[in-house]
């Protein structure tokens, strides 16, 4: 579970940096989704949940 949470944190971190860069440059999301991208937030949530479950 901790490996899953680490992977999710790394992927969501990269995606959050990309989202913030797009917001600063005032460019639309290439996927046509709003910024911050819901996919990024879902991956971050999965990482947080798996991290909290693995710590119990």
Q: Where are the domains of the chain?
A: 2-54
Local confidence band at 52 (pLDDT 50, 70, 90 cut-offs): very high
pLDDT for the residue 30? 83
Q: Apex CA 16: angle with CA 20 and CA 6, to 5°?
A: 160
Q: How far apart are CA 1 and CA 52, in angstroms?
A: 9
Can you give the pTM of this predicted structure?
0.81
Local confidence band at 47 (pLDDT 50, 70, 90 cut-offs): very high
pLDDT for the residue 1? 85
């Amino acid at each position: 579970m901790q490996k899953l949470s680490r992977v999710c944190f790394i992927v969501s971190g990269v995606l959050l940096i990309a989202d913030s860069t797009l917001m600063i440059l005032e460019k639309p999301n290439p996927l046509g989704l709003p910024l911050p991208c819901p996919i990024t937030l879902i991956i971050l949530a999965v990482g947080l949940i798996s991290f909290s479950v693995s710590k119990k």
